[in-house]
Structures are given as structure tokens and as C-alpha cells.
Amino acid sequence: MMGGTTRTTESSMKTMNPAVARVLKRLHYPLDVILTCVRWYVAYPLSLRHLEDMMAERGVSVDHSTVHRWAIKLLPVLEKAFRRLKRPVGKSWRMDETYIRVKGEWRYLYRAVDKDGNTIDFLPRAHRDKTAARRYFEKSIAQNGIPETGIIDKSGANLAALEAINADREAPIRIRQSKAV
């Protein structure tokens, strides 16, 4: 699978997303090596040096800083390409926030799911206030369209953020509050 050191082939470049192909065009490793390293880096709690060691065990010499550059270049492009392929979400969103630990610090994770349980979007924030909630709602609406109904918990910050968004709109988002979302 990853034994060779040939460049990404021209035929594989023609079949992929043009933006991804442009980024990969200048990289001098096989496509499967690049994508494997980037996937493992984002999917598992591995350090860049762990990835360097894992690839060396497989006979591929790649420096940890190279893997980091691949991730920096590829992840934004891949995220855009995958967002275009994402299924449309429902018009009724259930939104809430929880807190999680990220790199040893507590963060609020704003999230929403549609009626079918499909994740619409999420956004970690340092604070749980109207500004953070509004930033999350604006990002989610920009990427997924406008919901007809927003079902939120009893959070005053979420209510204030949605009311502020509705103040700027002709057709407001219907807001329902529930004890448990």
C-alpha cells in the first residue's frame, strides 16, 4: 500500500476535487501516504512524532513537520469539499450546549441536530454567553440554511442570541424552549 515513493499520479488527480488536487499537486509523496497520515492525525490522539514512527515502521520515511504541513494545507480544503457533499439538514433544529475538556481547558460545545438526529453543526467556545451563542447560530445558518424552528433549552444566552438574529430578519425563526433538548 505505502511502499513506493512515487508522486501522486496524474490519473488520480483528474478524478478528485479540483481544490484538493491543486494542494496535492506540489506534494512529493504518494497520495495514500499523505491521506493516511492526515487521517490518523485528526482521527486518533496521536502526536506528529508518533505518526513519524508509525510510518517508519511501514517503510516510509516522513518527518513529523512534513505531516504537520500536510494537515495545515489539506484539512481546510478537505473540510470545504466534504461540506459540499453533506446531505441537507431538516428545518427543525434542536440546539444546546455542553462543556468538554480540550487540551486541559474546559470549553462550551454548542451543537445542533435535526429532527432525524443528524448533526447539523458544532462550535467550541470559551464562554457561554449571548455572543458565543450568536456566533454559533450565525455559523450554522450560513453553512446549513435557515431553520424554520429552533428548539432550545432554558438557556437565556441561546434565547437572547436567537432573538437578536430574528430582529434582523423578515421571517423570524420560530423559537421553542424545552427543559431537555
Determine the pLDDT at residue 53: 96
The angle at the Cα of 15, spanning 14 to 19, to the nearest 5 degrees, equals 75
Judge whether residue 64 has pLDDT over 70: yes
Q: Which three cell numbers stand for residue 124?
A: 467550541
Determine the pLDDT at residue 2: 47
Q: Which three cell numbers stand for residue 155?
A: 438557556
Average pLDDT of the segment spanning 12-39: 79
CB 46, CB 68: distance < 8 Å: no
Determine the pLDDT at residue 174: 93
Average pLDDT of the segment spanning 101-106: 88
Residue 21, C-beta contacts closer than 8 angstroms, at least 6 positions apart: 13, 14
Most confident of 20-24, 66-70, 97-101, 118-122: 66-70
Determine the pLDDT at residue 1: 45
Most confident of 19-23, 81-85, 124-128: 124-128
Tell me how crowded residue 60 is: count the other CB atoms within 10 A of its CB. 20
| C-alpha of 23 from chain center | 19
Average pLDDT of the segment spanning 148-175: 90
Judge whether residue 120 has pLDDT over 80: yes
Share of the chain above pLDDT 90, in %: 41
- 5 pLDDT band, cuts 50/70/90, is very low
- 55 pLDDT band, cuts 50/70/90, is very high
Counted residue by residue, the chain has a size of 181
- Beta strands, E only, the chain: 92-102, 105-114, 119-125, 149-152, 174-177
Residue 88 DSSP class: P
